[in-house]
Structure 1
């Protein structure tokens, strides 16, 4: 049998990079924490979904990146997809600037990896597998929590940023799997919103907290104290309903009752209208919040197949200090 010999041409790396660059991608900031607990991050566009069951994604980290050794040893990371208004932020995280995180608000949601509070979509992941792949490593992440917004994505093609037109299909939800609610306290009172059916619910936000301002889903915004805003509860209400991310927060400036949207009202903690709150999960959470406020010691509730658990965190402290 005759052997056919193939001649392989040497590939020009720059030409190959330009060819790869014709594939339109989004732009992400991949974040984690080093051994000292300091946030680290870099811009990347080599990202893709992998699997729904289990929930897996992947991102490629170049071995020449300054934060490569940190990601190589990390046991968790977050992928933050940027929206069209975050070109400057993308450039910051693509640079070697030592103060990248001084220019962006971020919180810890599930794993402790920094989640950017104002981005298109975020995925908080534990490392499922790390694969060596030439001049990159492939981080396979198992998604533990995620959230979305209705912003237009920041695109990238042929080495430059690209605009994506009409990104939001009719009927798309801004956070299709999670509702972000807030326990907003002021002078010992808690803010609740009318549900339109004669009952009360927690205020929800149309976007995450930014520069101390919280845009409310019912319209208007409130000034909150960023250092006093903490994750409080993560849970589902039913298999076919969205899950909830609940934060506790304090009003950042005095606000007259008449300045609130008409659907919002403050209640003292000993007069919360439990009987008109339909969701038993919300009722139970408010009862826990009232007890913990009285004790001055708070916990974080995480839902699970075993019924969930509360991890006590003691007195309030900022996220940067907590992690």
Structure 2
């Protein structure tokens, strides 16, 4: 007969334990899915971990007391949206009991049909790989079907409050396959530039793609562009940088007088462009080419960088895809 093993477990104070768990610095995520009726559901969570690269797996923990728990327990898909340091309002919204959390947050579908939030640090669109019952939580293991990331700083969380992460993007973090995407935006002959905070000027960038001819710009706000005048203008590498550069040429669709530009944005006349305050030789050359082509009647071209100086291909009149199919 086997002797009984005494139960020597001590009583754990759940409040003290939660505080101890909270000393581990984490990021902040918004978990999203769709319920049985196809409605988007979401909640804020910081229990997230990568699991495997082959196959690509991650896990999140969903509290059984959460109002959206039944949706995550019953759906075959979900997305994990890692928030940037500018999204504390999004974190607070999805941690609240708001009836329609998605009404004020831009979102889209990518692969599985689960809502993916725009402007977040990174996102992972997943199908459910497994569910594991774990006390008052469910461990949800997802197989990554699509993902995206950005160079934004992450939103941190520690000891029950938000925390800042210093130096979130160390040199060399971006791989050579990553691209810097900028926009050469013209309005009434002038060019839009942005102060880089170091006494120089750069082109505007966007935290996500152009949607409905509206470009969300880093720094806040949107710019309405003329869709027929938005096209790839230059592709090149810059010495000393891992990332390649994609530059789109665009024209502002709204009157400049009615436009509220974010801090640091400024229009420059072609004959007053601050070339000496633009660090990149390649950027200066591209702007000079743009000025020449504008003065030459607006016959623009696409530049493709190469080891022997690059190639330039003229751009013809734009037409819709339907028109192109019929031609």
TM-score category (smaller protein): 0.5 to 0.7
| Shift of residue 47, structure 1, vs aligned partner | 0.3
5+ long unaligned stretches in structure 1: 183-203, 226-241, 243-249, 279-288, 298-323
Distance 1:59 1:251 in 2: 42
Structure 1 counterpart of 2:150:
149
| Shift of residue 130, structure 1, vs aligned partner | 1.5
Structure 1 counterpart of 2:159:
158
| Shift of residue 145, structure 1, vs aligned partner | 1.1
Distance 1:290 1:181 in 2: 23
**Equivalences for 1:93-108 in 2 at 5 Å?**
93-108=94-109
**Which of residues 212, 215, 219 in structure 2 aligns to 1:213?**
215
| Shift of residue 92, structure 1, vs aligned partner | 0.6
Larger CA Rg, structure 1 vs 2:
2
| Shift of residue 223, structure 1, vs aligned partner | 2.7
Cα distance change of structure 1 residues 10 and 104 upon mapping to structure 2, 3 Å threshold: same
TM-score where L is the length of structure 2: 0.60
**Equivalences for 1:134-145 in 2 at 5 Å?**
134-145=135-146
Cα distance change of structure 1 residues 161 and 292 upon mapping to structure 2, 3 Å threshold: same
Cα distance change of structure 1 residues 145 and 11 upon mapping to structure 2, 3 Å threshold: same
Distance 1:160 1:96 in 2: 19
2:170 aligned counterpart, secondary structure: coil
Per-residue CA deviation, residues 111-137 of structure 1 (Å, 9 max, x unaligned), is 111111111111111111122111111
Cα distance change of structure 1 residues 57 and 78 upon mapping to structure 2, 3 Å threshold: same
Structure 2 counterpart of 1:223:
223
1:151 aligned counterpart, secondary structure: coil
Structure 1 counterpart of 2:116:
115
Distance 1:56 1:136 in 2: 19
Cα RMSD (Å): 4.6
Distance 2:177 2:15 in 1: 41
2:91 aligned counterpart, secondary structure: helix
Cα distance change of structure 1 residues 96 and 3 upon mapping to structure 2, 3 Å threshold: closer
Distance 1:4 1:67 in 2: 40
Tell me if the contact between 1:62 and 1:136 (Cα under 8 Å) persists in the aligned partners: yes
Distance 2:131 2:180 in 1: 32
4+ runs of 1 displaced by more than 6 Å? 175-178, 263-266, 271-274
Distance 2:10 2:158 in 1: 26
Tell me if the contact between 1:147 and 1:177 (Cα under 8 Å) persists in the aligned partners: no
Distance 1:222 1:92 in 2: 22
5+ long unaligned stretches in structure 2: 183-203, 226-242, 244-250, 257-268, 271-285, 294-298, 306-317
Cα distance change of structure 1 residues 101 and 58 upon mapping to structure 2, 3 Å threshold: same
| Shift of residue 172, structure 1, vs aligned partner | 2.2
| Shift of residue 22, structure 1, vs aligned partner | 1.0
TM-score where L is the length of structure 1: 0.61
1:293 corresponds to 2:327: no
Cα distance change of structure 1 residues 59 and 252 upon mapping to structure 2, 3 Å threshold: farther
Per-residue CA deviation, residues 265-319 of structure 1 (Å, 9 max, x unaligned), is 99xxxx9989x879xxxxxxxxxx978423899xxxxxxxxxxxxxxxxxxxxxx
Tell me if the contact between 1:28 and 1:79 (Cα under 8 Å) persists in the aligned partners: yes
Tell me if the contact between 1:81 and 1:122 (Cα under 8 Å) persists in the aligned partners: yes
| Shift of residue 14, structure 1, vs aligned partner | 1.3
Point out the more displaced range, 21-30 or 163-172: 163-172
Point out the more displaced range, 4-13 or 143-152: 4-13
1:32 aligned counterpart, secondary structure: strand
Structure 2 counterpart of 1:82:
83
Distance 1:100 1:82 in 2: 15
Structure 2 counterpart of 1:7:
8
Cα distance change of structure 1 residues 133 and 251 upon mapping to structure 2, 3 Å threshold: farther
